[in-house]
Amino acid sequence: MHEMALCQGMVELIEEQRRLDGFATVKRVIVEIGALGHVDPHALEFAFDVGARGTSAESAALEIREIPGRGWCMDCSRSIEIAARGEGCPECGGYQLIVEQGEELRLKELEVA
């Protein structure tokens, strides 16, 4: 489960920011994940609960915002929504797609005290 490693990195970033800014605890963590990024939101929640134990984010609420997949279809020259990798263009059925959005994993915001 790579979500555990992802959360370990997030917690390290949070703790580094705590050292820099001097806040005591984290109340809420907002994370953006792309629909095409192969990150399971439920596994990420579980991993965060485990990975944040003993840190300033231990009791923080994790808010996950999903970023939809978007791509450029080279066959019909349109920007289209992509629900999953390997699917064809919903406009023309072509498979020459360049992913423009949806692979992100971003620690977007912290609410601290």
Q: How confident is the model at residue 85 (pLDDT cuts 50, 70, 90)?
A: confident
In this structure, what token pair is assigned to residue 78? 């349109």
pLDDT in tens, 46-82: 999 999 999 999 999 999 999 999 999 999 999 999 9
Kindly list the domain boundaries of the chain, sorted by start residue.
2-68+101-112
Whose tokens are 């705590």? That residue is: 18
pTM: 0.86
Reading the block at residue 20, the tokens are 């820099």
What's phi and psi for 71, nearest 5 deg? -150, 170
* Band (1; pLDDT cuts 50, 70, 90): low
For strand 69-73 and strand 61-67, is the pairing parallel, antiparallel, or unpaired? unpaired
Which CATH number, 3.30.2320.50, 3.90.110.10, 3.90.1150.10, 3.30.230.10, labels domain 2-68+101-112?
Answer: 3.30.2320.50
